[in-house]
Amino acid sequence: MYKKIFACLIAASMAAALQAQISMSLQVAPAGVVQKAQLWNMVLVNTSSTSVAVYINLSLLSISDNRPLMTATARSIVLNKGAKQIAAADIAPIQYNYLSSVFNIDRNPDGFLPIGNYKACYTVYKIGNEGNVPLAEDCIPVEVQPLSPPLLNTPADNDSIETPYPQFTWLPPVPLNLFSDLNYNLLLVEVLPGQTKGDAIQKNVPVYNAYAQTPFNNYSASGKSLDTGKTYAWKVVARNADEPVAQTDIWTFKVGSIPATTKIPFDGSYILLQNDLKAVYNIIGDSIHVKYFSYEKTHAAPIVFADQGGQLIYQQTQQIKPGDNYFDLKLSRRLDMGEVYLISITGLDNKKHAVRFSISKNQ
């Protein structure tokens, strides 16, 4: 009986010793653009005197809440005594199981991981008659970053603009195909005297905090207009689904003096629609007369009436022909006297041609 107990203890000690004799050294790039195949770069070391059959299991977790986003199981291999360099090709085929919709963008086993911050956790299992026994475990952070973060465009840094309702534009991060659900958060704050723009962004209550799915945003016309002479700082944070993944630099601008109204009563002349929003044309009467020159083929296009912040009020579809186009348009009763509005046409090349106008009296 004692011999049997002693033999069991010896067997258990040998099994424990075997489990302690497998080590793992992960060689996954900690940041950058990452292919799924790169997740399997590692060195396994068997310091025992016997060979052992093993397989590797991977769990990719969200860095924020340890929620599993993807799991994967590799083909079994035999580890002889010594170190073995492992790559994805050595343990293929690898079975992937996707637990989050962020991976819908690329489910190819040889594809890229979506942009985000993850924790990759590995377990090496021994294959035996007594069941699969974990021999080694390790985790490593993996930060999948875009090659280029989003870049601010307008208003330009340190610019002085001529509208209290600016349009913000920026360039998206690249490559776009690594984002499953790209969206943005735009943050605008006032820079107080003595503050740096970085301090202002971190500490001040936002004047404007907007969500966008496109790389532009019109300052809401329903919000408080920006004050002339004050300095404002803004930045954009790119997000993949709910995860912040990249952000722009911080830029500043001021609102300068608003240009005076240019009075142009209709006398047989037309307002030329162009890329000029400096002047505000004062319309006398209940119609607006505009001219638009087109280099494009004949097509139908909407003439858009919007508020100063770019919010659509109404539109009228007109036939656009090559060359000069003249339009005599009845103004809607939805437009109020004294308010500033935009009238615009967007060409087939997606370039907008617009002017600003106000109405001198009730219709």
Q: Measured between alpha carbons, how far is 173 from 188 in angstroms, rounded to an integer?
A: 20
Which value, to the nearest 10 degrees, does the dihedral of the CA atoms of residues 146, 147, 150, 156 take? 170
At residue 192, φ and ψ (nearest 5 deg) are -80, 160
A 10 A CB-CB count for 317 gives 9
What residues does each domain of the chain span? 2-144, 151-255, 261-359
Please, what's the largest Cα pairwise distance for the chain? 118
**Fold agreement (151-255, 261-359):** yes
> Which mean pLDDT values do the consecutive 10-residue runs of the chain (363 residues) have?
46 46 86 88 93 95 90 95 94 94 85 89 90 91 88 92 86 86 94 94 94 88 82 94 88 79 52 79 86 83 89 89 86 87 90 88 53
Q: Which CATH number fits domain 261-359: 2.70.70, 2.40.30, 2.60.40, 2.70.98?
A: 2.60.40
Size of the chain in residues: 363
Q: Encoding tokens for residue 278?
A: 């400096």
**Strand 287-294 relative to strand 271-272, pairing:** parallel
Q: Which CATH architecture has domain 2-144?
A: Sandwich (2.60)
Q: What is the pLDDT of residue 83?
A: 93
Please, are residues 268 and 298 in contact by the beta-carbon 8 Å criterion? no
pTM for this structure? 0.54
Give the whole-angstrom CA distance, residue 292 versus residue 296. Answer: 12
| Fold of the 151-255 domain | Immunoglobulin-like (2.60.40)
